[in-house]
Amino acid sequence: MKKIQISPSILSADFSQLGKEIKRLEDAGADMIHVDVMDGHFVPNLTIGPPVIKALRKYTSLKFDVHLMISPVHKYIKDFADAGADIITIHPEATENLGQSLKFIKTLKKKVGVSLNPNTKINSIENELENIDLILVMSVYPGFGGQKFIPEVLEKIELLKKIRDEKKYEYDIEVDGGINFENSKSVINAGANILVSGTTIFKENDGNIKKNIETLKEV
Ligand code: DX5
Ligand code: ZN
């Protein structure tokens, strides 16, 4: 049974003091930091790029779990690796050759992730499953925090766990979007071992992020 980890999304943090916010997350027991990179093209929103990640690197030794919602993505992978990303997760629709992009991330000695939108089928990436470290199941359509969890993805999580167990693969199953205290247990029971959350962690319990991280971890 993989350890349940929480990867808070800084998309819901105070962007005027991201360094301090990352320190706050580390002190509150976050297992890694989920960095949502958006280009206004792959998704209808724009956030941060490599220079900001580079500036944030010194604020924590926690892993940067970088979610690239950008296309084309291949030509930017090295910039994010050099800026300090530890896990680099890409969307299959954002690259001409998924296998090549994943191999390239590995040559940069970074953990490799693939993100599946709610309407993207597992069979579109099944040849890559044995080579990836993390599969990021989107439980919202990417682009914004604060959206409603799409319960149909629970089936996809269960199937990914079944495939992993049957084929003895190693990938982590991370779920991202609309995670809250009402659905976190069903997401974990379905097979997820990393939960991404922005709104719930920063907003619930008057912003008590330590309590919110601990509550999301409860099974
Ligand atoms: C959406 C991002 C998610 C989002 C999660 O495109 O990928 O990481 O920030 O935020 P909440 O937890 O607010 O849904
Ligand atoms: Zn994300």
CB contact at 8 A, 54 and 30 = no
Please tell me the distance between residue 84's alpha carbon and the centre of ligand 2 in angstroms.
17
Average pLDDT, the chain: 98
Residue 219's pLDDT band, with cuts at 50, 70 and 90, is confident
Query: What is the average per-residue pLDDT within 147-168?
Result: 98
- Catalytic residue among 31, 65, 172, 176, which? 176
Residue 56: its pLDDT value, please? 98
**pLDDT 10s digits, 121-149:** 999 999 999 999 999 999 999 999 999 99
Please tell me the distance between residue 34's alpha carbon and the centre of ligand 2 in angstroms.
6
Q: Which one of 114, 150, 196 would you pick to mutate in the ligand 1 pocket, going by the greatest count of ligand atoms within 8 A of its CB?
A: 196
3-state SS, residue 107: helix
Please tell me the distance between residue 144's alpha carbon and the centre of ligand 2 in angstroms.
9
| Lateral strand order in the sheet of 111-116 | 5-8, 194-197, 172-176, 134-138, 111-116, 87-90, 63-69, 32-38
CB contact at 8 A, 161 and 191 = yes
Percent of the chain with pLDDT over 90: 99
CB contact at 8 A, 157 and 185 = no
The minimum-distance atom of ligand 1 relative to the CA of 199 is 13
Residue 1: its pLDDT value, please? 80
Is there an atom of ligand 1 within 6 Å of 9 CB? Answer: yes
CB contact at 8 A, 186 and 155 = no
Which domains, and CATH codes, for the chain? 5-217 (3.20.20.70)
H or E segment to which residue 116 belongs: strand 111-116
pLDDT at 169 over 90: yes
**pLDDT 10s digits, 77-122:** 999 999 999 999 999 999 999 999 999 999 999 999 999 999 999 9
Is there an atom of ligand 1 within 6 Å of 146 CB? Answer: yes
Residue 38: its pLDDT value, please? 98
Task: Report CA torsion sign: 15, 61, 27, 77.
Answer: positive
